[in-house]
Amino acid sequence: MILASNSPRRKEILENFGFSLEIKTKNIEEISDEKEIIKKVEDIARKKVMAVAMDNPNEFVIGADTVVVIDNKILGKPKSEKDIYEMLHLLSGRTHQVITSFSFINISKNIDIKDSQISDVSFKNISDEEIKWYIDTKEPFDKAGSYGIQGKGSYFVEKIDGDFFSVMGFPIGKFVRTLANIDISLEEIKKL
């Protein structure tokens, strides 16, 4: 199976479940004309996967997109330390949503699936000193919402209502259940 993502977290989650992966990505503009946030994230995930699937029409291609949402606003990856401060101040002491959408395509088999998992994540109150400490770890720079739940960013998390792996970057449980719906069994996963 081809993973249309350079995310080490997605690769780890899928390989830990038993998928054998080849990484292939294409640079696409991560924009969507969709208005609703979930549809927008699903559209971007599908565009990432379709760009790779077009060059590999007989292969199964999987990919995803993860965003952090608060006050109906998407928080993407930070571009600067200032972005990290602003995002973490916004998330401090509040509950936000993490939406991970996945797309699974095999053009020759006429498979084109997209779906999403939404999780609520509650943060403790975060001080400026804690934000500075976190920036110094370099961890928040490539993470949606400026934090990674699987690393030192876990320090900020008080509660998760949803799927931990989805917050980490890929809803493996929902994806595997989706495969079962199209008659791909747990035993067949190794062969994809």
Digitized pLDDT (tens) for each residue of the chain, 192 residues in all: 999 999 999 999 999 999 999 999 999 998 999 999 999 999 999 999 999 999 999 999 999 999 999 999 999 889 999 999 999 999 999 999 999 999 999 999 999 999 999 999 999 999 999 999 999 999 999 898 999 999 999 999 999 999 999 999 999 999 999 999 999 888 888 777
From the list 129, 135, 145, the residue with the least C-alpha distance to 96 is 145
CA distance 133 to 107: 46
Contact at 8 Å (CB) between 165 and 102? no
Q: Considering the entire predicted model, what is its pTM?
A: 0.93
Give me the architecture of the 2-191 domain, per CATH: Alpha-Beta Complex (3.90)
Query: Is 65 marked active-site?
Result: yes
> Could you say which of 65, 120, 142, 163 is catalytic?
65
Q: Rounded to an integer, what is the distance from CA 176 to the centroid of its chain?
A: 16
- What is the residue extent of each domain of the chain? 2-191
Q: Where does 21-127 have alpha helices with state H?
A: 37-53, 81-91
